[in-house]
Amino acid sequence: MDRQKVKISVRNLVEFILRSGDIDNRIAAQDKDAMQMGAKLHRKIQKRMGASYHPEVTLRRVVEFDTFDIQVEGRADGIIEEERICIDEIKGVFKDLERMEEPVPVHLAQAKCYACIYAREKELAEIDVQMTYCNMETEDIRRFRESYKADELEEWFMDLMHRYEKWARFQIEWREERNASVKQVEFPYDYRKGQRELVSSVYRTILRKKKLFIQAPTGTGKTLATVFPAVKAVGEGLGEKIFYLTAKTITRTAAAGAFNTLKEQGLKYKVITLTAKEKICFCDKAECNPEYCSYAKGHFDRVNDAVYELITGQDAVTRSVLEEQAEKWQVCPFELGLDTAIWMDAVICDYNYVFDPNAHLKRFFGEGVKGEYLFLIDEAHNLVERGREMYSASLCKEEILRVKRQVKHIDVRLTKRLEECNRQLLELKRNCDGVTVLDSVMHIYLKLLSLMAEMERFLEDYKQFAEREDVLKLYFEVRMFITVYEKLDENYLIYAELAKDGEFFLRLFCVNPAVNLKEYIEKGNSTILFSATLLPIQYYKELLSTEKDDYAVYAETVFEESQSRLLLGTDVSTRYTMRGETMYRRYAEYLYEMASAKEGNYMSFFPSYHFLEQVYDAFVELADRKQSASEGREEYNVGQIECLVQAPYMSEEAREIFLEGFEEEREGSLMGFCVMGGVFSEGIDLAKERLIGAVIVGTGLPQVCLERELLKNYFDARGQNGFDYAYVYPGMNKVQQSAGRVIRTEEDRGVILLLDERFREARYRNTFPREWKGIQYCNIHNVRDQIQSFWSGSSVK
């Protein structure tokens, strides 16, 4: 039989075993060698080194233990074959090389591992190790070289391996236990209509290492229908780790529930749900340094023991579990979660942990890292806009000027660099009449490289500077700008914008995120993208994938047509030219007619807070008038209609209170006033009597703005319908999401009322899901009859 094998990269091994000390965000040094620029610099240095220099040499060593092997592998940047053999490790940095007294310990450890592996392979008695540091702005180089005896390296290396042994043993033993349990698991329920086919499609996609887009109407059980085949695939060796990615917290709860359902059959599966740093941090603000936070002090001295205890004692790692363990070991709960995720079978987290170049988990998605990952991307329609945000960057001239003024009496060198950047942006500002699309900003990029080096030095030198936070904020913005600049291609627009308040911005706008997403998707085996609103499918395939042969399926709805009635009000419009008190009152009348036709809970969704407020005021006035007129006339007295109104920037507590209103027993009706695309239009479940109707006011089109117009022009120039790409498709997605709140289970019944005459136009009708084929027209005069006929089970022509 083949011996079990655990693989680990040289870099991950040394960074994991040898870390120690504090978390300290005051030290600005970042993993710059992972940037694309660092890779270019590597190649440039390697080419200069002559015939005796062999670049990018893959090295591998298998260390045998009693019942398993550990395979350590990586690529040495260079091997110099001269009189003395030398391993060369290149690191690109921004810091002043003259200030470096010795190599960074973890960098040197990486090179020593390569030296040990190579010396053993070639039976060398001695070998040299050279650390080559290169300043990425000036391209100056500083080298540190030292000789090592092979037996000393061997002893040092084997000590590392023995320290890693218990972690590898855990992996091997847990994997066997997990895979044995997977074989026993069956789909936990009777398959709903079309669900078996959905499960099969997911499994086949994973088997073939492809991507699958799933349009799955509400009720198809898409969470379990994706999790179950993915778990089965892991048990059969088709993947090693599941990443369940979501855009909203509430869908993470559903994902965790799917794994728990399978565990009821005896599935052994370690699942972690990651929580954002700001939410899980024990301190008032996430200030990660040992002077501010006691959990940051000595964190790395204790965290490995905390992780090992956690993974050997818990299978479901939730926020509360992480907080309890972090308190016990006095470590950062956020960092504890990230480290624990390495040993989990499934990670439930936000998109940014995988795709965001600033926030992704470097342990899984860093430069040169790949894995047997299976990506399950829930509510995938959100990934278009999130992708654009993650891969775009901007600089504000006034922010640079503000930081310059803060440091000018403290640091001459940084002040000079800030002034150079400010001058270049000022020149662009003088030539900008509102908005200017640019072909290149290479000259600014080069100045930013110089600025980056000085900011890094400043942040290391001035840890107690009063306005340090402002400098650090600008530092991250500059770093992001540089990172994004190096990704620029035909999927980007560069433009300058002079805002109404006089501030000037230079922006790198990612129009189509598909290429950038591909960089991370390719680090795994297979990707499943699913949503109840992934129409038109071609739009999402184009903006989320670069492949032409991706699979796509349209899952059948499990609901009967008789469960809902879809009405289209044809005598109202949200067009700007039609807005006014008369139209707002007409919308209010529709809401009143719906709430009066049958007592129950309703939600109405509006294109903006302003529109919501206008209709709400008209509704309250109308309801009061109707109530007064109906007193003493039993046939018209429908009872009080209560209102709940969504406010901008609601806290989590305020959201919970809002939704609790739909749980209460009451006489009369409840009308919730919400905003399309907001927190209540997606991902909430109000089943059965908790919600029996939704009113969708308008087509959901985003407001006309600069970036929407740039999108429109970009797609028009490529022969596509730019208005549809920039406005119609994103708008109609919000409409479908809002409408999807009504019918959530097979016991639900309800009415969906679309209110805008534009819904009759072909460009909007073409985006309707199949389930909307039974739509009926209405107007303010017959809408109540239409609704009442639905509830009574009769039909009205």
Residue 36: the pLDDT is 45
Q: Do residues 242 and 346 touch, judged by C-beta distance below 8 A?
A: yes
CATH no. for 192-269+347-391+525-557: 3.40.50.300
Rounded Cα gap, residues 535 and 537, in angstroms: 5
Residue 266: the pLDDT is 95
**Minimum mean pLDDT range among 49-58, 63-72, 191-200:** 49-58
Q: Do residues 482 and 448 touch, judged by C-beta distance below 8 A?
A: yes
Residue 39: the pLDDT is 62
Concatenating the DSSP letter of every residue in 637-686 gives: ----EEEEE--TT--HHHHHHHHHTTTS--SSEEEEEEETTSTTSSS---
Q: Is the pLDDT of residue 527 over 90?
A: yes
Segment 774-794 mean pLDDT: 93
Q: E strands, 82-175, where? A: 85-93, 126-135, 141-149
Q: What are 314's two structure tokens?
A: 């818990």
Residue 126: the pLDDT is 96
CA dihedral 51, 53, 57, 61 (to 10 degrees): 120
Residue 140: the pLDDT is 85
State pTM to two decimals. 0.90
Q: Do residues 311 and 270 touch, judged by C-beta distance below 8 A?
A: yes
Residue 631: the pLDDT is 56
**pLDDT single digits (tens) 157-168:** 999 999 999 999
Residue 692 pLDDT level (bands cut at 50, 70, 90): very high
Residue 42: the pLDDT is 65
CA dihedral 561, 604, 783, 779 (to 10 degrees): -110
Residue 27: the pLDDT is 65
Residue 120 pLDDT level (bands cut at 50, 70, 90): very high
- Give 586's contacts (C-beta < 8 A, 6+ positions apart): 571, 572, 780
Q: Is 547 helix (H, G, I), strand (E, B) or coil?
A: coil
How large is the greatest C-alpha to C-alpha distance in the chain, in angstroms?
107
Q: Is 692 helix (H, G, I), strand (E, B) or coil?
A: coil
Residue 358: the pLDDT is 83
**Minimum mean pLDDT range among 41-45, 70-74, 118-122:** 41-45
| Better-scored residue on pLDDT, 457 or 507 | 507
Residue 64 pLDDT level (bands cut at 50, 70, 90): very high
Rounded Cα gap, residues 788 and 761, in angstroms: 27
Segment 478-489 mean pLDDT: 95
Segment 766-782 mean pLDDT: 95
**Minimum mean pLDDT range among 355-369, 430-444, 734-748:** 355-369
Residue 712 pLDDT level (bands cut at 50, 70, 90): very high
Rounded Cα gap, residues 710 and 563, in angstroms: 42
Pairing of strands 4-9, 776-778: unpaired
CATH no. for 561-792: 3.40.50.300
Residue 35: the pLDDT is 45
**pLDDT single digits (tens) 585-603:** 999 999 999 999 999 999 9
Side chain identity at residue 341, one-letter code: A
Residue 635 pLDDT level (bands cut at 50, 70, 90): very low
Q: Is the pLDDT of residue 796 over 90?
A: no
**pLDDT single digits (tens) 225-283:** 999 999 999 999 999 999 999 998 778 889 999 999 999 999 999 999 999 999 999 99
CA dihedral 624, 625, 630, 636 (to 10 degrees): -90
The rounded mean pLDDT for the chain is: 92
Pairing of strands 271-273, 346-350: parallel
Whether a cis peptide bond, with omega within 30° of 0, leads into 290 is no
**Minimum mean pLDDT range among 75-79, 99-103, 510-514:** 99-103
**pLDDT single digits (tens) 7-49:** 999 998 999 999 999 998 776 444 444 344 556 666 778 777 8
- 259: phi then psi, degrees, rounded to nearest 5: -65, -40
Concatenating the DSSP letter of every residue in 322-390 gives: HHHHHHHHT--HHHHHHHHHTT-SEEEEETHHHH-TTTS-HHHHSTT----EEEEETTGGGHHHHHHHH
Helix %, strand %, coil % for the chain, to 5?
A: 45, 20, 35
Q: Do residues 414 and 458 touch, judged by C-beta distance below 8 A?
A: yes
- 183: phi then psi, degrees, rounded to nearest 5: -60, -25
Q: What are 669's two structure tokens?
A: 């009706």
The domains of the chain are located at 4-166, 192-269+347-391+525-557, 280-344, 393-510, 561-792
Residue 456 pLDDT level (bands cut at 50, 70, 90): confident
> End-to-end CA distance of the chain, in Å?
73
Instruction: Give whole-number Cα distances, 566 to 404, 491, 747, 753, 769, in Å.
Output: 59, 39, 17, 6, 12
Residue 703 per-residue DSSP state: P
Task: Tell me the sheet residues that pair with 145.
Answer: 130
Q: How wide is the angle at C-alpha 322 spanned by C-alphas 319 and 324, nearest 5°?
A: 110
Buried b (16+ CB within 10 A) or exposed e, 26-48: bebebebbbbebbeebbeebbee
Cβ atoms within 10 Å of 122's Cβ, excluding its own:
12
Residue 210: the pLDDT is 97
Q: What are 568's two structure tokens?
A: 């289209």
**pLDDT single digits (tens) 393-432:** 999 999 999 999 999 999 999 999 999 999 999 999 999 9
The topology under which CATH files domain 393-510 is Fumarase C; Chain B, domain 1 (1.10.275)
Segment 432-448 mean pLDDT: 94
- Give 553's contacts (C-beta < 8 A, 6+ positions apart): 197, 198, 201, 212, 213, 214, 215
| Better-scored residue on pLDDT, 28 or 329 | 329
**pLDDT single digits (tens) 100-116:** 889 989 999 999 999 99
Rounded Cα gap, residues 665 and 654, in angstroms: 20
Q: Do residues 698 and 615 touch, judged by C-beta distance below 8 A?
A: no
- Give 33's contacts (C-beta < 8 A, 6+ positions apart): 42, 90, 91, 92, 93, 367
Residue 461: the pLDDT is 86
| Better-scored residue on pLDDT, 33 or 645 | 645
Side chain identity at residue 613, one-letter code: E
Rounded Cα gap, residues 342 and 347, in angstroms: 9
Asked if 192-269+347-391+525-557 and 561-792 have one fold, the answer is yes
Which CATH class for the 4-166 domain?
alpha beta
Residue 632 per-residue DSSP state: T
